Amino acid sequence: MANAKAIFIGEITQIAGVAAIVAGVVLSLHHWPAAAALIGGKVEDRDERGALLRERVELRWEPKYPAVNRWHIERWMPPETYGSPRAWYAQTIERENGVSIPALGPYPSRGEYEHCFTLESPRGEFVQLTPTAAEHIARAIEWSRKLPRSTTKCQLRDRECREERAYESWAYDLLDDAVPAFHKEPFVTVV
């Protein structure tokens, strides 16, 4: 299996970016726009004015990440992660105009790199990838694999609830400040 990984890593290095084994973790390090993926579905071709030229149902290479100057770190996942080819196609096939097409591309029979981290500052600004940063990220990825899935799911749910409460509090405060006291009605004390 290690030999197949090394061959696949070599191909990825030639095609998309830099593949490396950092702290024992097989990573693919992409600087946008190097990473692309086969995406299936109905695609529209348009001219420079935006007028529709044609619609087709096909697999097409598309950028994996938004057009932002960032490093994207992906971790190699073995094919077993995706289940059997039959299950893959059962879950990803879309039908358009009588044509069946795998929306996520063909079954990853040799494994696939999955996104696990986008390198940027806390303010969302570009940060240059260094060997030290790559090793730190690789160690964090390996450490996270040791946590039970139920723990990580609970932590994600808790974080989402906290963010939702913070947003609601901010929105209520904003709306409350926008309305004058007593809706501009005179205030009279009744004794």
Question: By C-alpha distance, which of 89, 82, 87, 90 is closest to 109?
Answer: 82
Q: What is the pLDDT of residue 11?
A: 42
Q: What is the pLDDT of residue 163?
A: 92
Q: What's the token pair of residue 38?
A: 């086969």
Using the Cα atoms of residue 133, residue 139, residue 118 and residue 29 in order, give the sign of their dihedral.
positive
Q: Measure CA 166 to chain center.
A: 24
What are the beta bridge partners of residue 31?
71
Among all chains, which residue has been given the structure tokens 């726009």?
33
Q: How far apart are CA 15 and CA 37, in angstroms?
A: 11
Counting as low any pLDDT under 70, the low residues of the chain are 1-26, 32-33, 180-184, 186-189, 191
Mean pLDDT of the chain: 80
Using the Cα atoms of residue 109, residue 8, residue 6 and residue 35 in order, give the sign of their dihedral.
negative
pTM above 0.95, yes or no: no
Q: What is the pLDDT of residue 164?
A: 93
Beta-strand pair 52-63/99-102: unpaired
For residue 186, is the peptide bond before it cis, meaning its omega torsion is within 30 degrees of 0? no
Residues 115 and 72: beta-carbon distance below 8 Å: yes
Q: What is the pLDDT of residue 6?
A: 47
Domain range list for the chain: 2-44+51-146, 148-180
Q: What is the pLDDT of residue 23?
A: 54
